[in-house]
Chains A and B, each alone.
Chain A
Amino acid sequence: MSKQSDIGKRIDETLESLRGVQRAELSPWFFTRVKARLERDQHNIWETAGSFMARPAIAIAGLVLILCINAFIVFEKDTLPSDPASISSNITEPVEEYVLNAANSNYDYENLEP
Protein backbone atom coordinates (compact mmCIF):
# COMPACT_ATOMS: atom_id res chain seq x y z
CA MET A 1 0.00 0.00 0.00
CA SER A 2 2.76 2.42 0.96
CA LYS A 3 4.74 1.35 -2.13
CA GLN A 4 1.74 2.26 -4.32
CA SER A 5 1.42 5.66 -2.65
CA ASP A 6 5.17 6.21 -3.08
CA ILE A 7 4.84 5.46 -6.78
CA GLY A 8 1.82 7.77 -7.01
CA LYS A 9 3.84 10.54 -5.37
CA ARG A 10 6.79 9.99 -7.75
CA ILE A 11 4.45 10.09 -10.75
CA ASP A 12 2.99 13.41 -9.58
CA GLU A 13 6.49 14.82 -9.05
CA THR A 14 7.57 13.62 -12.49
CA LEU A 15 4.52 15.16 -14.18
CA GLU A 16 5.32 18.45 -12.43
CA SER A 17 9.03 18.36 -13.32
CA LEU A 18 8.56 20.64 -16.34
CA ARG A 19 7.07 23.42 -14.24
CA GLY A 20 9.18 26.55 -14.69
CA VAL A 21 11.25 25.06 -17.53
CA GLN A 22 13.35 27.69 -19.31
CA ARG A 23 13.49 28.01 -23.07
CA ALA A 24 16.48 26.26 -24.67
CA GLU A 25 18.68 28.76 -26.54
CA LEU A 26 20.63 28.61 -29.77
CA SER A 27 24.13 29.93 -30.35
CA PRO A 28 24.53 33.55 -31.56
CA TRP A 29 25.84 32.28 -34.92
CA PHE A 30 22.57 30.64 -35.84
CA PHE A 31 21.62 33.31 -38.40
CA THR A 32 24.97 32.83 -40.22
CA ARG A 33 24.22 29.12 -40.46
CA VAL A 34 20.72 29.76 -41.79
CA LYS A 35 22.14 32.11 -44.45
CA ALA A 36 24.78 29.56 -45.46
CA ARG A 37 22.10 26.89 -45.74
CA LEU A 38 19.87 29.16 -47.80
CA GLU A 39 22.72 29.85 -50.25
CA ARG A 40 23.61 26.15 -50.39
CA ASP A 41 19.97 25.25 -51.09
CA GLN A 42 19.75 27.81 -53.90
CA HIS A 43 22.91 26.39 -55.53
CA ASN A 44 21.58 22.88 -55.23
CA ILE A 45 18.30 23.29 -57.12
CA TRP A 46 19.61 21.42 -60.19
CA GLU A 47 21.28 18.82 -58.01
CA THR A 48 17.99 18.30 -56.17
CA ALA A 49 16.09 18.02 -59.46
CA GLY A 50 18.66 15.50 -60.72
CA SER A 51 18.50 13.37 -57.60
CA PHE A 52 14.67 13.52 -57.73
CA MET A 53 14.69 12.25 -61.32
CA ALA A 54 17.19 9.54 -60.40
CA ARG A 55 14.90 8.04 -57.75
CA PRO A 56 13.97 4.51 -58.89
CA ALA A 57 10.22 5.12 -58.59
CA ILE A 58 10.40 8.38 -60.60
CA ALA A 59 12.80 6.94 -63.21
CA ILE A 60 10.65 3.82 -63.74
CA ALA A 61 7.45 5.89 -63.89
CA GLY A 62 9.08 8.17 -66.49
CA LEU A 63 10.21 5.20 -68.57
CA VAL A 64 6.74 3.64 -68.47
CA LEU A 65 5.19 6.99 -69.50
CA ILE A 66 7.55 7.28 -72.50
CA LEU A 67 6.76 3.70 -73.54
CA CYS A 68 3.01 4.38 -73.26
CA ILE A 69 3.31 7.52 -75.41
CA ASN A 70 5.29 5.54 -78.02
CA ALA A 71 2.74 2.73 -78.04
CA PHE A 72 -0.12 5.22 -78.35
CA ILE A 73 1.54 6.94 -81.34
CA VAL A 74 2.22 3.58 -83.07
CA PHE A 75 -1.36 2.33 -82.58
CA GLU A 76 -2.89 5.63 -83.64
CA LYS A 77 -0.82 5.53 -86.83
CA ASP A 78 -2.17 2.03 -87.57
CA THR A 79 -5.80 3.17 -87.29
CA LEU A 80 -5.42 5.92 -90.01
CA PRO A 81 -6.98 4.99 -93.42
CA SER A 82 -4.35 3.50 -95.70
CA ASP A 83 -6.10 4.24 -99.04
CA PRO A 84 -4.93 7.67 -100.35
CA ALA A 85 -7.95 7.95 -102.71
CA SER A 86 -10.44 7.95 -99.86
CA ILE A 87 -8.44 10.74 -98.16
CA SER A 88 -8.43 12.94 -101.29
CA SER A 89 -12.18 12.40 -101.91
CA ASN A 90 -12.86 13.53 -98.36
CA ILE A 91 -10.85 16.68 -98.98
CA THR A 92 -12.55 17.59 -102.31
CA GLU A 93 -16.11 17.35 -100.92
CA PRO A 94 -16.08 20.64 -99.00
CA VAL A 95 -14.46 22.40 -101.97
CA GLU A 96 -17.26 21.30 -104.31
CA GLU A 97 -19.84 22.34 -101.79
CA TYR A 98 -18.19 25.76 -101.60
CA VAL A 99 -18.23 26.21 -105.40
CA LEU A 100 -21.95 25.38 -105.55
CA ASN A 101 -22.75 27.79 -102.82
CA ALA A 102 -20.61 30.48 -104.40
CA ALA A 103 -22.54 30.33 -107.68
CA ASN A 104 -25.80 30.94 -105.87
CA SER A 105 -24.64 33.84 -103.82
CA ASN A 106 -26.14 37.36 -104.00
CA TYR A 107 -22.84 38.67 -105.25
CA ASP A 108 -23.14 36.58 -108.46
CA TYR A 109 -26.75 37.73 -109.10
CA GLU A 110 -25.69 41.32 -108.85
CA ASN A 111 -22.83 40.75 -111.27
CA LEU A 112 -25.08 39.11 -113.89
CA GLU A 113 -26.90 42.36 -114.53
CA PRO A 114 -25.25 44.72 -116.99
Chain B
Amino acid sequence: MDERILVEGLKQGDEAAFKTIVETWQNMVYNTALGIVQNAEDAEDIAQEVFVQVYQSISSFKGESKFSTWLYRITVTKSLDHERKKKRKKRFGFVRSIFGDQNEVLVNPPDFHHPGVTLDNKENAAVLFKAISELPENQKVAFTLNKVEGLSYQEVSDVMKTSVSSVESLMHRAKNNLRKKLEDHYNRGK
Protein backbone atom coordinates (compact mmCIF):
# COMPACT_ATOMS: atom_id res chain seq x y z
CA MET B 1 0.00 0.00 0.00
CA ASP B 2 1.17 3.56 -0.68
CA GLU B 3 2.96 4.98 2.37
CA ARG B 4 1.11 8.31 2.07
CA ILE B 5 -2.24 6.54 2.40
CA LEU B 6 -0.95 4.63 5.44
CA VAL B 7 0.35 7.81 7.07
CA GLU B 8 -2.94 9.61 6.43
CA GLY B 9 -4.79 6.60 7.84
CA LEU B 10 -2.69 6.68 11.00
CA LYS B 11 -3.26 10.42 11.34
CA GLN B 12 -7.01 9.64 11.32
CA GLY B 13 -6.42 7.03 14.07
CA ASP B 14 -6.95 4.00 11.81
CA GLU B 15 -5.61 0.96 13.68
CA ALA B 16 -5.37 -1.18 10.52
CA ALA B 17 -3.04 1.44 9.01
CA PHE B 18 -0.91 1.36 12.17
CA LYS B 19 -0.74 -2.44 12.02
CA THR B 20 0.38 -2.34 8.37
CA ILE B 21 3.00 0.30 9.19
CA VAL B 22 4.41 -1.80 12.06
CA GLU B 23 4.45 -4.99 10.00
CA THR B 24 6.03 -3.28 6.98
CA TRP B 25 8.87 -1.53 8.79
CA GLN B 26 9.39 -3.54 12.01
CA ASN B 27 12.41 -5.50 10.73
CA MET B 28 14.05 -2.39 9.28
CA VAL B 29 13.73 -0.61 12.65
CA TYR B 30 14.82 -3.69 14.63
CA ASN B 31 17.84 -4.39 12.41
CA THR B 32 19.04 -0.78 12.66
CA ALA B 33 18.68 -0.71 16.44
CA LEU B 34 20.37 -4.12 16.68
CA GLY B 35 23.33 -2.90 14.65
CA ILE B 36 23.83 0.04 17.02
CA VAL B 37 23.06 -1.43 20.47
CA GLN B 38 24.22 -4.99 19.63
CA ASN B 39 21.78 -6.69 21.99
CA ALA B 40 18.61 -8.45 20.78
CA GLU B 41 16.41 -7.66 23.83
CA ASP B 42 17.42 -4.00 23.93
CA ALA B 43 16.90 -3.69 20.16
CA GLU B 44 13.36 -5.10 20.43
CA ASP B 45 12.63 -2.74 23.30
CA ILE B 46 13.85 0.20 21.21
CA ALA B 47 11.79 -0.98 18.21
CA GLN B 48 8.67 -0.97 20.43
CA GLU B 49 9.50 2.54 21.67
CA VAL B 50 9.97 3.72 18.07
CA PHE B 51 6.49 2.56 17.01
CA VAL B 52 4.89 3.97 20.16
CA GLN B 53 6.47 7.31 19.29
CA VAL B 54 5.32 6.98 15.67
CA TYR B 55 1.74 6.43 16.89
CA GLN B 56 1.89 9.37 19.29
CA SER B 57 3.65 11.90 17.07
CA ILE B 58 2.52 11.02 13.55
CA SER B 59 0.96 14.50 13.29
CA SER B 60 4.47 15.99 13.33
CA PHE B 61 5.40 14.04 10.18
CA LYS B 62 4.87 16.55 7.36
CA GLY B 63 6.01 14.32 4.50
CA GLU B 64 9.09 16.44 3.70
CA SER B 65 11.20 13.27 3.74
CA LYS B 66 10.35 9.64 3.04
CA PHE B 67 8.49 7.91 5.87
CA SER B 68 11.28 5.32 6.14
CA THR B 69 13.86 8.13 6.54
CA TRP B 70 11.79 9.57 9.41
CA LEU B 71 11.63 6.09 10.99
CA TYR B 72 15.40 5.63 10.64
CA ARG B 73 15.96 9.00 12.37
CA ILE B 74 13.77 8.07 15.33
CA THR B 75 15.45 4.66 15.57
CA VAL B 76 18.98 6.08 15.47
CA THR B 77 18.14 8.74 18.07
CA LYS B 78 16.57 6.21 20.44
CA SER B 79 19.42 3.73 19.96
CA LEU B 80 22.07 6.37 20.68
CA ASP B 81 20.10 7.55 23.76
CA HIS B 82 20.05 3.96 24.95
CA GLU B 83 23.82 3.64 24.44
CA ARG B 84 24.49 6.88 26.36
CA LYS B 85 22.28 5.71 29.23
CA LYS B 86 24.13 2.39 29.32
CA LYS B 87 27.51 4.15 29.39
CA ARG B 88 26.33 6.43 32.22
CA LYS B 89 25.18 3.38 34.21
CA LYS B 90 28.52 1.67 33.62
CA ARG B 91 30.42 4.77 34.75
CA PHE B 92 28.20 5.10 37.83
CA GLY B 93 28.82 1.42 38.60
CA PHE B 94 32.56 2.01 38.31
CA VAL B 95 32.41 4.97 40.72
CA ARG B 96 30.38 2.88 43.17
CA SER B 97 32.91 0.07 42.94
CA ILE B 98 35.71 2.57 43.77
CA PHE B 99 33.82 3.60 46.91
CA GLY B 100 33.54 -0.01 47.98
CA ASP B 101 29.94 -0.77 47.03
CA GLN B 102 30.19 -4.29 45.68
CA ASN B 103 26.52 -4.63 44.71
CA GLU B 104 27.17 -3.26 41.24
CA VAL B 105 29.03 -5.89 39.28
CA LEU B 106 30.80 -4.77 36.13
CA VAL B 107 30.39 -7.38 33.47
CA ASN B 108 31.90 -7.21 30.01
CA PRO B 109 29.17 -8.06 27.50
CA PRO B 110 29.66 -11.30 25.56
CA ASP B 111 30.52 -11.18 21.85
CA PHE B 112 27.57 -10.08 19.75
CA HIS B 113 26.50 -12.42 16.95
CA HIS B 114 24.22 -10.82 14.38
CA PRO B 115 21.60 -13.41 13.29
CA GLY B 116 21.85 -12.35 9.63
CA VAL B 117 25.56 -13.09 9.26
CA THR B 118 26.51 -16.24 7.34
CA LEU B 119 28.05 -19.07 9.38
CA ASP B 120 31.51 -18.82 7.82
CA ASN B 121 31.70 -15.08 8.65
CA LYS B 122 30.33 -15.43 12.17
CA GLU B 123 33.64 -15.17 14.05
CA ASN B 124 35.02 -12.27 11.98
CA ALA B 125 31.71 -10.40 12.19
CA ALA B 126 31.73 -10.68 16.00
CA VAL B 127 35.22 -9.12 16.07
CA LEU B 128 34.07 -6.40 13.67
CA PHE B 129 30.94 -5.59 15.76
CA LYS B 130 33.13 -5.27 18.86
CA ALA B 131 35.29 -2.73 16.99
CA ILE B 132 32.21 -0.90 15.65
CA SER B 133 30.89 -0.50 19.21
CA GLU B 134 34.02 1.50 20.07
CA LEU B 135 33.64 4.00 17.20
CA PRO B 136 32.47 7.59 17.79
CA GLU B 137 28.67 7.95 17.45
CA ASN B 138 28.53 9.54 13.97
CA GLN B 139 30.94 7.05 12.45
CA LYS B 140 29.09 4.17 14.10
CA VAL B 141 25.73 5.33 12.72
CA ALA B 142 27.06 5.93 9.18
CA PHE B 143 28.89 2.58 9.10
CA THR B 144 25.92 0.63 10.51
CA LEU B 145 23.39 2.19 8.13
CA ASN B 146 25.64 1.53 5.14
CA LYS B 147 27.03 -1.92 5.98
CA VAL B 148 24.31 -3.51 8.14
CA GLU B 149 21.20 -1.90 6.64
CA GLY B 150 22.64 -1.61 3.15
CA LEU B 151 21.70 2.06 2.62
CA SER B 152 23.47 4.10 -0.07
CA TYR B 153 25.56 7.13 0.94
CA GLN B 154 22.72 9.36 -0.32
CA GLU B 155 20.19 7.58 1.93
CA VAL B 156 22.59 7.70 4.90
CA SER B 157 23.03 11.45 4.36
CA ASP B 158 19.23 11.91 4.32
CA VAL B 159 18.87 10.04 7.61
CA MET B 160 21.77 11.90 9.24
CA LYS B 161 20.67 15.28 7.76
CA THR B 162 24.12 15.90 6.31
CA SER B 163 25.80 16.00 2.89
CA VAL B 164 26.96 12.99 0.89
CA SER B 165 30.57 14.22 1.12
CA SER B 166 30.28 14.30 4.94
CA VAL B 167 29.06 10.70 4.89
CA GLU B 168 31.98 9.75 2.64
CA SER B 169 34.35 11.39 5.11
CA LEU B 170 32.66 9.65 8.08
CA MET B 171 32.93 6.28 6.32
CA HIS B 172 36.59 6.87 5.49
CA ARG B 173 37.41 7.74 9.10
CA ALA B 174 35.32 4.82 10.38
CA LYS B 175 37.21 2.35 8.17
CA ASN B 176 40.59 3.77 9.25
CA ASN B 177 39.61 3.56 12.93
CA LEU B 178 38.30 0.02 12.49
CA ARG B 179 41.52 -0.99 10.75
CA LYS B 180 43.57 0.32 13.72
CA LYS B 181 41.33 -1.40 16.27
CA LEU B 182 41.41 -4.69 14.37
CA GLU B 183 45.18 -4.48 14.04
CA ASP B 184 45.48 -4.04 17.83
CA HIS B 185 43.09 -6.91 18.34
CA TYR B 186 44.99 -9.34 16.08
CA ASN B 187 48.40 -8.18 17.38
CA ARG B 188 47.27 -8.95 20.93
CA GLY B 189 46.59 -12.44 19.61
CA LYS B 190 42.95 -12.68 20.60
| B-binding residues in A (CB < 8 A) | 7, 10-11, 13-15, 17-26, 30-31, 33-34, 37-38, 41
A33 to B30 Cα, complex, angstroms: 14
| A-binding residues in B (CB < 8 A) | 19, 22-23, 26-28, 30-31, 34, 40, 43-44, 47-49, 51-52, 55, 114-118, 121, 124-125, 127-128, 147-149, 175, 178-179, 182-183, 186-187
Q: A7-B187, A11-B186 are in contact. Are A23 and B124 (CB under 8 A)?
A: no
Let me know if A24 and B26 touch, CB within 8 A: no
Let me know if B178 and A15 touch, CB within 8 A: yes
Q: A14-B124, A26-B27, A37-B52 are in contact. Are A20 and B22 (CB under 8 A)?
A: no
7 closest residue pairs by CB, A with B: A22-B116, A17-B124, A17-B121, A17-B125, A14-B124, A11-B182, A23-B31
Residues of B near A34 (CB, < 8 A) are 22, 48, 51-52
Residues of B near A21 (CB, < 8 A) are 114, 116-118, 125, 147-148
Q: A22-B116, A24-B34, A26-B26 are in contact. Are A10 and B186 (CB under 8 A)?
A: yes
Residues of B near A24 (CB, < 8 A) are 27, 30-31, 34, 40, 43, 114-116
Tally A-B pairs: CB < 8 A. 88
Interface of A is mostly: helix
A11 to B181 Cα, complex, angstroms: 10
A9 to B90 Cα, complex, angstroms: 35
Let me know if A20 and B118 touch, CB within 8 A: yes
Let me know if B27 and A25 touch, CB within 8 A: yes
Residues of A near B28 (CB, < 8 A) are 23
Q: List 19 A-B contacts (CB under 8 A).
A: A10-B124, A11-B186, A14-B125, A14-B182, A15-B175, A15-B178, A15-B182, A17-B125, A18-B147, A18-B148, A19-B121, A22-B116, A23-B31, A24-B114, A24-B116, A26-B27, A30-B22, A34-B22, A38-B55
Query: What's the nearest-Cβ distance from chain B to residue A8, in Å?
Result: 8
Q: A11-B182, A17-B125 are in contact. Are A33 and B48 (CB under 8 A)?
A: yes
Closest to B28 in A: A23
Can you name 5 extra interface pairs (CB under 8 A) apart from A11-B186, A14-B127, A34-B22? A17-B117, A18-B128, A23-B149, A30-B26, A30-B47
Residues of B near A25 (CB, < 8 A) are 27, 30, 115
Query: What's the nearest-Cβ distance from chain A to residue B132, in Å?
Result: 9
Closest to B126 in A: A17
Contact of B48 among A10, A14, A22, A37 (CB under 8 A): A37
